[in-house]
Every structure is written in C-alpha cells, then in structure tokens.
Amino acid sequence: MSQPPTVVVTLWPQAGYVSQVEQIIAREIDEIRQAEGCELYELFIGVDGRVVLIERWSSREAWQAHFDTPAIERLKRDLTPLLSQPAERVELYPTTA
C-alpha cells in the first residue's frame, strides 16, 4: 500500500489491570510518537475496559519499522502478562472513492 496507514490496536486487560496497562503505555508513548513516520499515536480507554491505541503512520514501512524499537519491545514484555487475550491490530487505508 502506498497510502499512509491508520492502525487501531485493541487491548483487553485482565480484570483490575486497566489502570496498570494505561500507565505502562503512557510511560512509552512520547518515545513512540518520536519514531520516524509517526503522525498520530493516541491512547483511549473504553467504558467496557478495553484499551485502544489509534495510530497513523507516514507509510506502512514506517509502521512496520517501529515494531523493532526499544519502546515497543518494552510494551510487549510488560503488557503481555496483563492481557486476557492477544492484542488485536487492524491496519486501515483510505478508500479511493
């Protein structure tokens, strides 16, 4: 895809861990926002306890490259034990219509 991707990541913390998940992400968010190609990286908490990240990247390559950064490695390490299921990622592109 040549268009910039928007990515929606949904995390389902185990019961009682929403605040801890939010704190872990908040600790890394500034570093992630400084990654090359990051145009948007915002954290949201759903009323149902889900944690949602909405990301926009200048290219798919930039988005993929950020998976190898220290901040993402720390997130994977620290968040995985607190989640009730694996993270769900949806990669989206604007339509041409």
Closest CA to 35 of 51, 53, 52, 55: 55
Closest CA to 56 of 6, 2, 3, 1: 6
The pLDDT tens digits of the residues spanning 73-90 come to 999 999 999 999 999 999
pTM of this structure: 0.92
- 3-class secondary-structure state, position 17: coil
pLDDT score at 97: 65
CA-to-CA dists, residue 84 to 34, 52, 64, angstroms:
29, 14, 24
Q: Is the pLDDT of residue 64 over 90?
A: yes
pLDDT above 90 as % of the chain = 93
The pLDDT tens digits of the residues spanning 8-36 come to 999 999 999 999 999 999 999 999 999 99
Q: Is the pLDDT of residue 1 over 70?
A: no
Domains located in the chain, CATH noted: 6-92 (3.30.70.100)
Strands 6-11 and 38-45: unpaired
3-state SS of 22-33?
HHHHHHHHHHHH
